[in-house]
Amino acid sequence: MARLTGPGSPFEVRTEPVRGRPMRVFRHRRRSLRELLDASTAHGAAEYLVCGGRRVTFAAHHAAVASVAHALRTRYGIRRGDRVAILAANSAEWIMMFWASAALGAVTVGMNSLWSAREIAHGVADSTPSVIVADDRRRALLGAVDVPVLSIEHDLGELAAAHPDAGLPDSGWAGDRPVEDDPAVILYTSGTTGRAKGAVHSHRNVLAACDFHLFNDALAAELGRPPGRRRFLLATPLFHIAALHNLVVPRLAAGDTAVLHTGRFEVDRVLRLIERERVTNWGAVPTMVRRVLEHTDLTDYDLSSLTSLSLNSAPSSRALFDRVRRALPGTAAALGTSYGLTETATGATVATAADLAEDPDTVGRPVINVDVEIRDADGNPVPDGVEGEIHVRGAQVMLGYWNRPDATAGAFGADGWLRTGDLGTLVGGRLRISSRRSDLILRGGENVYPVEVEHALAEHPRVSEAVVLGTPHPDLGEEVTAVVVTAPTPAPPDGTTPDGAVPGDVDDDTLSTFVADRLARYKVPTRWLITTTPLPRNATGKVERPTVRTWLP
């Protein structure tokens, strides 16, 4: 570590002011995503993207991005700071549009492709994009907007080929060169106040996430395990940091291949893709891995190329790790996990296979140039082994929430540390998570905030009140469970499970359809208890969720 990070080394670390606060950074870093894109031409004829039958080399990708960027600049007037929204399922075109936007200093808005029409409308109104790129399915939900809408299926191919010799717009565009702390990406998180918030990541944030991966490669080489060229399975949505910041961007820097799985997650298709494309690395959510392990017979597939597997985005039990080691022994030496948030752009901590062998319940140690502290309710650091709120500081931490100064102020302490809202402990430098942000439901790697679903249910004229909980699910980890009160009646005097009759025509299917019209499908409750008994509340009026849980059969 001293050799890699010391003076004169490629990964030399020093302390510099970052938005007015001293932080550790890599001295020899790139200052914009445009610089990283320019450097990618060195990888030439190697494959960057594999998507269906398409194989896109680094050289071809750079040329296509330059053509798209030229069209965005000349046809649509996109300049530094303008928002370019992408509303589409994963594709090579999604990635090309991201890089074209970044090259111009514009801000890519990664919209959730699972959003309902109403959620899409909120995202558009909040981010005010100058151009929207959408696939046909989401275009139908977009409705009428007063900005150009480009089709993934039709327009992007034309733009990518329209200016084959254009090259990227140069610095002659006065004032349009992005600087390090300019916004580069907005990714929406489920809102604890009932609407999604856009986490704003700067060029510095995204590049810090990328450099963390490059540093790990250098560390592996220093330990005698040079990574070589790898092939990464991309099976998570591009509007998440896992796919965009931690796969698409660092693979461009390292010269590796991103193999895109498109469409629904179907185990046979995924395993055949790993087999056919000789995938070496996979960063998966636990639900995906559980489905693979429950597949009838993995010996039907040649998975010998897969040597690295990381389980992220949701907690994983030691039992799951043990099952992975038995079923996929080739990944055991590089089996890991991490802890991070959309707000941190990449993992704040990472657990290696060695960490998990020593402490199966850990999510690892802080990554390079990141500080993690556990603090009490007054914001004071607590001793080793004492539970408190997890706080994070580092150059990768977001700028704040788009158009939400109140939420931004609430997320950061006066000293600039990010309050995660998660509870945990540090023991010997390793982090353990005690509980997640207030009542957050992690359904198959997707965040669901109960209040968002509760607000949607409250719009139904027959719903008096509702509480939404996460309950255990063997495949998804947690499922969204709703307890709905349809008419006020006195609470049982002895505190037993309520047995009020459900009035008339309000049932599971009715409410499911109602919520599905307002929220993404993964947020729709799949387990219901409909009652006439009021929810139990404490002296301050808050619902007593532990008591509600006892009502569930």
Q: What is the pLDDT of residues 27-85, one digit of tens each?
A: 999 999 999 999 999 999 999 999 999 999 999 999 999 999 999 999 999 999 999 99
- Tell me the CATH number of domain 369-438, given options 1.10.10.10, 3.30.365.10, 3.40.50.2300, 2.30.38.10: 2.30.38.10
Fold assignment, 30-39+56-231+238-256: Rossmann fold (3.40.50)
Specify which residues 477 forms β-bridges with: 473
pLDDT for 294 equals 83
Taking 50 as the threshold, does the pLDDT of residue 172 lie above it?
no
- Taking residue 494's Cβ as centre, other Cβ atoms within 10 Å add up to 5
Share of the chain above pLDDT 90, in %: 77
| Interval 523-539 mean pLDDT | 89
Tell me the pLDDT band of 319, cut-offs 50, 70 and 90: confident
Question: How far, in whole angstroms, is CA 438 from its chain's centroid?
Answer: 18
Q: Per-residue pLDDT for 495 more than 80?
A: no
pLDDT (average), residues 125-138: 97
What average pLDDT does range 177-182 have in this prediction?
Answer: 87
Which pLDDT score is estimated for 171?
47
Q: Look at 25-34, 145-154, 172-181, 250-259 and tell me which has the smallest mean pLDDT.
A: 172-181
Q: Which CATH number fits the domain 441-551, given the four candidates 1.10.357.10, 3.30.420.40, 3.30.300.30, 3.30.70.1710? A: 3.30.300.30
Residue 135: phi and psi, rounded to 5, are: -85, 170
Is 90 exceeded by the pLDDT of residue 23?
yes
Say what the pLDDT of residue 423 is. Answer: 87
Residue 477 is inside which H or E element, if any? strand 477-485
Q: Is the pLDDT of residue 117 over 90?
A: yes
- Tally Cβ neighbours within 10 Å of residue 25: 21
CB-based contacts of 119: which residues, under 8 Å, 6+ apart?
A: 112, 196, 518, 519, 520
Higher pLDDT, 458 or 259: 259
Domain ranges of the chain: 30-39+56-231+238-256, 369-438, 441-551
- pLDDT at residue 176 greater than cutoff 80: no
**Cα–Cα distance list, 83 to 97, 127, 186, 205, 207 (Å):** 12, 7, 9, 18, 19
- What pLDDT sits at residue 464? 85
**Of the candidates 366, 543, 533, 310, the residue with the CA atom closest to the CA atom of residue 438:** 543
Contact 37, 102 (CB under 8 A): yes
**Could you report the per-residue pLDDT of 394-445, keeping only the tens digit for each?**
999 999 999 999 999 999 999 999 999 988 999 999 999 887 666 789 899 8
Sort residue 379 into left (φ over 0), alpha (ψ -120 to 50) or beta: left
Which pLDDT value is given to residue 296?
Answer: 67
Better pLDDT: 362 or 487: 362
Higher pLDDT, 325 or 195: 325
Average pLDDT of the residues in 382-396: 96
The lowest-confidence range among 31-35, 380-384, 521-525, 539-543 is: 539-543
Q: Which of 181-195, 455-469, 495-509 has the lowest mean pLDDT?
A: 495-509
